[in-house]
Structure 1
Amino acid sequence: MNIKLKLWQKVMVGMALGILFGMFFKPYALSLEPIGTIFMNMIKMVVVPLILFSILNGITNISDANTFGRLGKRAFLLYMSTTMFAVTTGLTLANVFQPGAGLSIALSEQVHSPEQGHALKHLLMNIIPSNPIKAMAEGNTLQIVVFAFFTGFALILIGDKGREVKNFISSCTHLIFKMIHLVIQLTPYGVFAIMSWVIAQYGIDIMLHLSKFIAVVVGALFIQYIFLGVMLLVFGRVNPLPFYKKMSNTQSLALATSSSKATLATAISELRNKVGVSKESASFILPLGAAINMDGTAIYLGICSIFFAQIFGIPLDFYHYVILVMTATIGSIGAAGFPGGSMVMMGMVLSSVGIPLEGIGIIMGIDRLLEMLRTMINITGDCTVTVIVDKMEGTLNEKVYYSKITSE
């Protein structure tokens, strides 16, 4: 019988085998460290081009500046608000419950934190790149993101004259996604090597800390889920219960596919037919959200940053938290629309405050399970903002919204 495993199943098998190999074949497991390092370097290799082209591609897909101005302002502000709340929630819970406390992992080399100004003034003065090529070469992620946003907005303004550049960006984005796809396919082997080495080096106790890490992530995602309902009640002035009930099919699909973009068509259909959202809002605001709004991913990036800082013994101050809120928000915007994409964007967030990327391998084995839950929160957030903006525009059909609550 020929059994073909899916990628996430292979990753789980790789993690399990890696744990067993590290426990019972310690000398051999320790020798696998170079393989894990090579895999992590492959992830680091695609971080900068992914940030640049994924953000550029997302912005340039918005071709109508007037439409973006009318509907986009409200949607963008609401999307950024939900994302920043998500990051803050993740950072707060991670600091309160400290999932990485008691687990210490030594670094193979000294890590140098980015220059600290300990002030917002310093941050704002250095966020604009004087040389974008230099920013890319040095991996200055904030400057790369600013350059990408500025370039993308300029392309929107010049309209059809920038068609060839937009086509080039689209082609480059597809190329980068293919490169990442190839790297992601190696994840089971990378996870096996990393987990084998980690267990051999630090013992099985590290797995106990992951259960606490999972609990913190799930708790933060639940808080965000409730917060979205509060937003519907306060800003949309509608009862959130019909929304939750009618979005259950979309949320189930998001859980199964771990992809907001794969769920997009179903979400648009259910918003229009079950919730009463207008065609204009469903066709513009929801795809915009799928491109720039990833609340679950933002929560995850924030918690992972604190978790890794705790296990590596890296102190963080207020300046670092400001950077984390900004980069986790931006990182969630640039997160690629495929399973495992957030693991790549995590490199941007961690490097922005001097946290080494080596810790990513520790959580790779459990990432798929958490990604299913993150995706459900992502698409729920997109749909929530779409409903709120449509209600603000006066185009939400409330008769449809409140219909058949008990029979859905």
Structure 2
Amino acid sequence: MLTALRKIPFSVQILLGLVLGIALGYLARAGDVSWLGTTLNTIGSLFVQLLRVAVPPLVFTAIVVSVVSLRGVANAARLALKTLLWFAITALISVGVGIGLGLLTNPGRGVTLDLGAAKEPQRTGSWTDFLTGLVPTNVFGAFTENNVLQIVFLAVVAGIAALLVGAAAEPFVELNRSILAIVQKALWWLIRLAPLGTLGLIGHAVEAYGWDLLAPLAKFTTAVYVGCAIVLLVVYPLVLVLAGKLNPLRFYAGTWPAIELAFVSRSSIGTMPVTQRAVERIGVPREYASFAVPFGATTKMDGCAAIYPALAAIFVAQVFGVSLSPLDYLLIAFVSVVGSAATAGLTGALVMLTLTLSTLGLPLAGAGLLLAIDPILDMIRTATNVAGQALVPTVVAAREGVLDRAAYDAAGRRDLTEEPPAETPARRDDPAPVPA
């Protein structure tokens, strides 16, 4: 049976999990089948929990190795700066889409909600918290608390130090490479469970929320999905064509498995190995991809840190009857470009939203109004995040003349669902397909 299952394309498996999850979710809600709802929630929660376990070692080792790998890349500093520049450019365009759509649709106007029941979320973000939160009180605390932002900080410091130390640091670097390989191997096993995780996550969302809860926020939910769709299907293709002189269809053919997994898992970091392998398969040099993708997975969040907080800020302002000035819209853009690292984590964009609201002086309780539907919104946000994380290194590699155009033009012609063979993980000519 397992052999027969593996013959089914992974994208079809994901789609089947999605459809079955929706059906079971409606069955659990309409038929008031409590045990089915509990089962769906358990399956989805276990899938996310398994992703969380892998996050600390994956982030630390991937970033250490990626920083050290820059010494083997020609014009490494130039590539790094270009990567950060394009991170900012695409984030600025994305937040512009969010603001424009918010002004056009007025997602909070006419919405009737119980504002007295709105409470500030327990976890909020501010510029002070963001800056002080970069540095952990102790090394182990960052890992035990799963504080991705602090882990990124430690990894960057350790990677730069190892890069400067040179040969004496090679045992440390090799240890990180070994741990990274082990964690990624385990993640490939987890990725194969994504259709089951999809069933549980989608089923629980349908069973828990339903249309009664979504109805008052339907306009806002639609605006978020439309905004992300505009960035995915209009902005990114235009960037590929105008900046990279690339065929967008080949890009999406090669990176779709990562985008698809991001949608169902709601985890940029959990999807990171798939994203990295996908961009390598479409011609981005491995040494550069191993730097750009891990950094993108922790700081490049066009869905969570640009489109969503822009729309959410407009929504909250309208619900609470607060008028936003042109300066406020500029502040939204500034926060989105500069503060996106605050979203570093497994799922959700709550910290970024509260950071934006506090910067604008809007009630933080407004974030509480959106918490109920956050899992529904987080799916499309994360898919947009991952597409952007793959887009930037592809465009930069193309502009710098290091993209393998033949590999790019062949994107999508291989099965993308199998893990790479363990015996040759570093070979660029490895014919193994990219997982989904």
Shift of residue 276, structure 1, vs aligned partner? 1.4
Query: 1:80–1:170: structure 2 CA closer, same or farther, 3 Å change rule?
Result: farther
Query: 1:328–1:407: structure 2 CA closer, same or farther, 3 Å change rule?
Result: closer
Correspondent of 1:326 among 308, 330, 334: 334
> Equivalent residue for 1:232?
240
Shift of residue 247, structure 1, vs aligned partner? 1.2
Q: Cα RMSD between the aligned structures?
A: 4.0
Letter in structure 2 aligned against 1:317: S
For residues 35-55 of structure 1, the C-alpha deviation after alignment (integer angstroms, 9 at most, x for no partner) is xxxxxxxxxxxxxxxxxxxxx
Shift of residue 319, structure 1, vs aligned partner? 1.6
Q: Is residue 353 of structure 2 the alignment partner of residue 350 of structure 1?
A: no
> Equivalent residue for 2:120?
none
Q: Is residue 312 of structure 2 the alignment partner of residue 304 of structure 1?
A: yes
Scaled by the length of structure 1, the TM-score of the pair is 0.64
Query: 1:178–1:294: structure 2 CA closer, same or farther, 3 Å change rule?
Result: closer
Q: Residues 167-186 of structure 1 correspond to what in structure 2 (within 5 A)?
A: 170-177=139-146
How many residues matched? 301
For residues 365-388 of structure 1, the C-alpha deviation after alignment (integer angstroms, 9 at most, x for no partner) is 211111111111101101111101
Query: 1:393–1:365: structure 2 CA closer, same or farther, 3 Å change rule?
Result: same
Q: Is residue 218 of structure 2 the alignment partner of residue 215 of structure 1?
A: no
SS at match of 1:313: coil
Query: 1:7–1:212: structure 2 CA closer, same or farther, 3 Å change rule?
Result: farther
Specify every segment of 5 or more residues in structure 2 that has no aligned partner in the other structure, as ranges.
1-34, 46-60, 117-123, 150-207, 416-436
Shift of residue 142, structure 1, vs aligned partner? 4.1
Query: 1:58–1:264: structure 2 CA closer, same or farther, 3 Å change rule?
Result: closer
Letter in structure 1 aligned against 2:325: D
SS at match of 2:347: coil
Shift of residue 207, structure 1, vs aligned partner? 5.0
Residues of 2 paired with 1:248 and 1:357: CA distance?
36
For residues 259-282 of structure 1, the C-alpha deviation after alignment (integer angstroms, 9 at most, x for no partner) is 11111101111221x311111221
> Equivalent residue for 2:83?
75
Contact 2:147–2:345 at 8 Å: present in 1 too? no
Query: 1:214–1:105: structure 2 CA closer, same or farther, 3 Å change rule?
Result: closer
Query: 1:244–1:267: structure 2 CA closer, same or farther, 3 Å change rule?
Result: same
Contact 2:224–2:307 at 8 Å: present in 1 too? yes
For residues 203-226 of structure 1, the C-alpha deviation after alignment (integer angstroms, 9 at most, x for no partner) is x99853311111111111011112
> Equivalent residue for 1:6?
41
Shift of residue 407, structure 1, vs aligned partner? 6.7
Q: Is residue 346 of structure 2 the alignment partner of residue 377 of structure 1?
A: no
SS at match of 1:177: coil
Shift of residue 96, structure 1, vs aligned partner? 1.1
Correspondent of 2:403 among 391, 396, 403: 396
Q: More deviation in 98-107 or 216-225?
A: 98-107
> Equivalent residue for 2:185?
none
Residues of 2 paired with 1:309 and 1:7: CA distance?
36
Letter in structure 2 aligned against 1:321: Y
Letter in structure 2 aligned against 1:285: A
Contact 1:58–1:291 at 8 Å: present in 2 too? no
> Equivalent residue for 1:261?
269
Query: 1:61–1:401: structure 2 CA closer, same or farther, 3 Å change rule?
Result: closer
Q: Is residue 297 of structure 2 the alignment partner of residue 290 of structure 1?
A: yes
Residues of 1 paired with 2:397 and 2:307: CA distance?
26
SS at match of 1:247: helix
Residues of 2 paired with 1:104 and 1:9: CA distance?
31
Contact 2:342–2:352 at 8 Å: present in 1 too? yes
For residues 80-127 of structure 1, the C-alpha deviation after alignment (integer angstroms, 9 at most, x for no partner) is 11111111111111111101111366866xxxxxxxxxxxxxxxxxxx
Contact 1:292–1:333 at 8 Å: present in 2 too? yes
Letter in structure 2 aligned against 1:208: A
Query: 1:167–1:90: structure 2 CA closer, same or farther, 3 Å change rule?
Result: closer
Shift of residue 6, structure 1, vs aligned partner? 3.2
Scaled by the length of structure 2, the TM-score of the pair is 0.60
Contact 1:140–1:352 at 8 Å: present in 2 too? no
SS at match of 2:244: coil
Q: Is residue 126 of structure 2 the alignment partner of residue 141 of structure 1?
A: yes
For residues 276-297 of structure 1, the C-alpha deviation after alignment (integer angstroms, 9 at most, x for no partner) is 1111221111112112110011
Contact 2:107–2:315 at 8 Å: present in 1 too? yes
> Equivalent residue for 1:94?
102
Shift of residue 4, structure 1, vs aligned partner? 3.7
Residues of 2 paired with 1:243 and 1:141: CA distance?
36
Query: 1:169–1:394: structure 2 CA closer, same or farther, 3 Å change rule?
Result: farther
Query: 1:80–1:8: structure 2 CA closer, same or farther, 3 Å change rule?
Result: farther
Contact 1:71–1:285 at 8 Å: present in 2 too? no
Residues of 1 paired with 2:64 and 2:411: CA distance?
39
Residues of 1 paired with 2:43 and 2:337: CA distance?
26
Correspondent of 1:366 among 357, 363, 373: 373
Residues of 1 paired with 2:108 and 2:212: CA distance?
12
Query: 1:72–1:168: structure 2 CA closer, same or farther, 3 Å change rule?
Result: farther
Letter in structure 2 aligned against 1:6: N
Query: 1:177–1:99: structure 2 CA closer, same or farther, 3 Å change rule?
Result: same
Query: 1:179–1:269: structure 2 CA closer, same or farther, 3 Å change rule?
Result: closer
Shift of residue 337, structure 1, vs aligned partner? 2.1
SS at match of 2:361: coil
Residues of 1 paired with 2:263 and 2:300: CA distance?
17
Residues of 2 paired with 1:144 and 1:178: CA distance?
13
SS at match of 2:271: helix
For residues 287-314 of structure 1, the C-alpha deviation after alignment (integer angstroms, 9 at most, x for no partner) is 1211211001121011000000000001
Residues of 1 paired with 2:397 and 2:351: CA distance?
34
Q: What's the % identity of the aligned pairs?
A: 28
